[in-house]
């Protein structure tokens, strides 16, 4: 009997450690400028988080992160072929809703469901800035879910994503201002 408890504790500890690994990938993903690079790193992040949630017993999050990985692959392929359209965002939004209902853990399943529905739509925008702005809706919802299921990695991840996204947007804004100032200086010099 002690072995079973020990095994459960070991899985939980491994799961929490995987959550930290996923945090690293997620933080780096939102420092990327191209939607393709964001999506590639999000694929890795989603797979690692699926394993994390499986090991800590958060089945809705585990299933939705597997869907998130497939979604990112689909968007990456679509974007690399120059495709657009509403089919994929609608499909994945509906798939997230159905999967959330099928893996229902309680009222808090709605939090991660809504967060990942927003993410499905945000990633479909194929614009790095819009993807980053969608984070400001998705991350607070997922953060609340992670607090409830006691996902250390999930909590750190959503906080890190919010911070990383904010840093990236501020950096882009400052770069835009310095480029505008340089352009104004050139025009005045001519």
pLDDT tens sequence across 129-140: 788 888 889 999
**pTM of the complete model:** 0.77
Is pLDDT above 90 for 47? yes
User: In sequence order, what are the residues at sequence separation of 6 or more whose Cβ sits closer than 8 angstroms to the Cβ of residue 39?
Assistant: 72, 75, 76, 79, 123
Structural domain harbouring 128: 2-177
Residue 63: pLDDT band (50, 70, 90) is very high
Higher pLDDT, 117 or 71: 117
Let me know if residue 182 belongs to a domain.
no
Let me know if residue 189 belongs to a domain.
no
Mean pLDDT in residue range 4-25: 84
DSSP-based three-state secondary structure for 106: coil
| Total of domains in the chain | 1
Let me know if residue 40 belongs to a domain.
yes
Let me know if residue 59 belongs to a domain.
yes
The answer to whether 112 and 137 are in contact (CB under 8 A) is: no
């Amino acid at each position: 009997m002690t072995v079973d408890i020990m095994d459960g504790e070991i899985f939980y500890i491994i799961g929490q450690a995987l959550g930290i690994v996923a945090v690293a990938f997620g933080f780096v993903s939102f420092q990327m400028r191209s939607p393709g690079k964001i999506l590639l790193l999000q694929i890795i992040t989603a797979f690692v988080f699926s394993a994390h949630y499986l090991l800590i017993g958060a089945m809705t999050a585990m299933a939705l992160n597997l869907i998130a990985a497939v979604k990112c692959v689909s968007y990456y392929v679509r974007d690399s072929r120059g495709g657009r359209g509403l089919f994929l965002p609608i499909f994945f939004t509906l798939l997230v809703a159905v999967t959330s209902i099928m893996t229902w853990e309680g009222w808090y399943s709605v939090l991660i469901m809504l967060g990942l529905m927003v993410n499905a739509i945000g990633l479909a925008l194929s614009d790095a800035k819009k993807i980053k702005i969608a984070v400001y809706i998705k991350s607070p919802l997922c953060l609340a879910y992670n607090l409830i299921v006691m996902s250390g990695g999930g909590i750190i991840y959503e906080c890190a994503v919010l911070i990383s996204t904010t840093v990236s947007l501020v950096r882009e804004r400052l770069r835009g201002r310095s480029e505008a100032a340089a352009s104004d200086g050139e025009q005045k010099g001519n």
